Amino acid sequence: MIERIHSLGRGAFELLRRPLSRAFDSEQNPLNHLGALTIYFCWIVLISGIWLLIFFRTSVSSAFESVEYLTREQWYLGGIMRSLHRYASDALIITILLHVIKEFVFNRYRLNRWFNWVTGIPLVWIIFPLGITGYWLVWDELAQYVAIASAELLDSVPIFTNSMAGNFMSDELLSDRFFTLMAFLHLIGLPIFLVFGIWLHVFRLNGPRINPPRRMMAAALLAMLVLSVVYPAISHDKADLSMAPQVLRFDWFYLHVYPLIQRWSPGWVWFLLVGISVLLTIAPWAPPARKTTVAVVDLDNCNGCKRCVDDCPFGAVEMVPRTDGSNYTHEASVDEELCISCGICVGACPTATPFRSRSALVPGIDLPNQTAADIRQDIIDRAEPPANAPRVMVFGCRDDEQTKRMLKAGQNVVTVRCMAHLQPSFLDFVLSRDHAEGILLLGCEDGNCNYRLGAEWTEARIGRERDPRLRKRTDTSRLAMGWQAPWSDIKDPVKRLAAFKASLENEEGNV
């Protein structure tokens, strides 16, 4: 059932991903940086907010005028900052929504990833009040509506003895203290919780991506700037508590549940919000995912080099003092709770080399249910006879749709957990031992690595920038990384393979 939902969701996500992959290569595709893009929009909100704060006056009588001053008299800076503040806040709701959907449909919220998933839910409960209190501070007709509807929502919780909404019945009843409280929440209280919440959300990850690529940052800022200039954010008329706001330019990103307060009742709105949050919170265990076998350290082959620790995307490997009395000071140790069996640690281990012939291929760290020796045997078994030249050995990620499509099309694919599960010497092994003339690494579609850093580490290892590096004798022109241009432009992996074979043939012909 849950797999069916994931599959349907991936299909829907594909509808968005496909046109975007025309516009962006994998590194620049915003869908591969949704979390980082959200944090980046938060930065825009913060910096523009600081400018607004300089001129903002936190009292009922002068808040509206101070925002009007920023919007109209100081339009060239304050007005643009206000619009940036508004639109970046809205944009981050889109990126959050896509981030949640993506992690869900690609099944990246269960097993050891439950922590990141669950800690993301309070962030949503912080961000929405943050945005809503921001609307409140303008003290225009929309703010009046938001204030009263929010108070009605809070009044329905049976913990307040007096009606909060009753404070908004006339200008005389409304006190500056209440307004100052909202300003405090928006400017200091909630942002502090947000920063702490973001830290909690990512701190268990190894090398979390806090910033998107620079080009993407520039493009996102430019997009928001252009929108701010073309369609600047403006206020409604000043709040008048003797009148009911009639037609409102509604921000549906933040206020989408508010009409339900009138249409249903505040109690049902709470039920909806809390119900969704509870469902999301229990999602990682509904149903529980099958725990896979975790990586195992073989101390006879572990020299404590720490590369597995550096490369593990989930911080599941740590160095501990040696326990076997050898001369090395440290050894790798796997945290079973955090390990997700991606095999990236195996790909980082210098001893996971298929060229070992004097001793059995037992690396310092390995996956028991798909050992490095299993992969070597799979390569040997799947090697085609030389008569089929140019022969291309295809490596696919086990959970990726492209691998499934290739297998369905009857193609010969060596399946690994992640591209970074392959230690680079395996690529050298394939070419130097004449198992194929070329290698196609399918990877995850558009470089959207199921284990966060697989594509990045693979590129760095093949590019000889990160240990273990690909040997210099390996001809990289015979290697194709499917998530990189020009191969990523060919969406069908079968056609991509055919194109790569054709390029190898051309190369042979030219020689």
Partner 1 sequence: MKLFYEILAWAVFSLVVGLLSVWPRYSLVDEHNAIITVTISHAAQRIGECRILTQEELNKLPPNMRKPSDCPRERHAVRFEMRSGDNVLYEDVLLPSGVWSDGKANIYQRVVVPAGRHDVYVGMNDSGGETGFDYETQASLDIASGRNVVVRFDPELQQFTIR
Binding residues for partner 1, rule: CB under 8 A, are 19-20, 22-25, 28, 30, 86-87, 90-91, 94, 145, 152, 155, 158, 161-163, 165-166, 169-170, 219-220, 222-224, 226-227, 230-231, 233, 241-253, 255, 259, 262
CA distance 186 to 345: 43
CB of 87 to partner 1, least distance (A): 5
DSSP string, 217-233: HHHHHHHHHHHHHHS--
CB of 111 to partner 1, least distance (A): 32
| Type of residue found at 276 | I
Cβ-Cβ contacts under 8 Å for 326 (sequence gap 6 or more)? 299
By beta-carbon proximity to partner 1, the closer residue of 248 and 319 is 248
CB of 23 to partner 1, least distance (A): 4
Per DSSP bridges, beta strands 392-397 and 438-441 are parallel
Q: Report the sign of the C-alpha dihedral through residues 269, 271, 274, 280, in that order.
A: negative
Joined tokens for residue 65: 């005028």
Q: Is 160 exposed, middle or buried (0-12, 13-18, 19+ CB in 10 A)?
A: exposed
Rounded to a whole number, what is the largest CA-CA distance in the chain?
Answer: 92
CB of 245 to partner 1, least distance (A): 6
Q: How many CB atoms lie within 10 A of CB 236?
A: 18
CB of 145 to partner 1, least distance (A): 6
202 in Cβ contact with 210 (< 8 Å): yes
DSSP string, 415-465: EES-GGGS-HHHHHHHHHTTS-SEEEE--SGGG--TTSSHHHHHHHHHTTS
For residue 325, is it left (φ>0), alpha (ψ between -120 and 50) or beta?
Answer: left
Q: Which residues of 261-287 are buried (b: 16+ CB within 10 A; e: fewer)?
A: beeeebeebbeebeeeeeebeebbeee
By beta-carbon proximity to partner 1, the closer residue of 221 and 362 is 221
Query: Using the 8-state DSSP alphabet, how is residue 317 labeled?
Result: E
By beta-carbon proximity to partner 1, the closer residue of 51 and 254 is 254
CA distance 366 to 144: 61
Residue 155: alpha-carbon gap to chain centroid:
36
CB of 347 to partner 1, least distance (A): 31
| Type of residue found at 243 | M
437 in Cβ contact with 387 (< 8 Å): no
CB of 195 to partner 1, least distance (A): 24
CA distance 408 to 402: 10
By beta-carbon proximity to partner 1, the closer residue of 106 and 254 is 254
By beta-carbon proximity to partner 1, the closer residue of 46 and 164 is 164
Question: In this structure, what is the dihedral angle of CA atoms 121, 127, 129, 135, given to the nearest 10 degrees?
Answer: -160
Q: How many CB atoms lie within 10 A of CB 115?
A: 18
- What is residue 383's three-state secondary structure? coil
Per DSSP bridges, beta strands 296-297 and 365-366 are antiparallel
Residue indicated by tokens 């900052």? 81
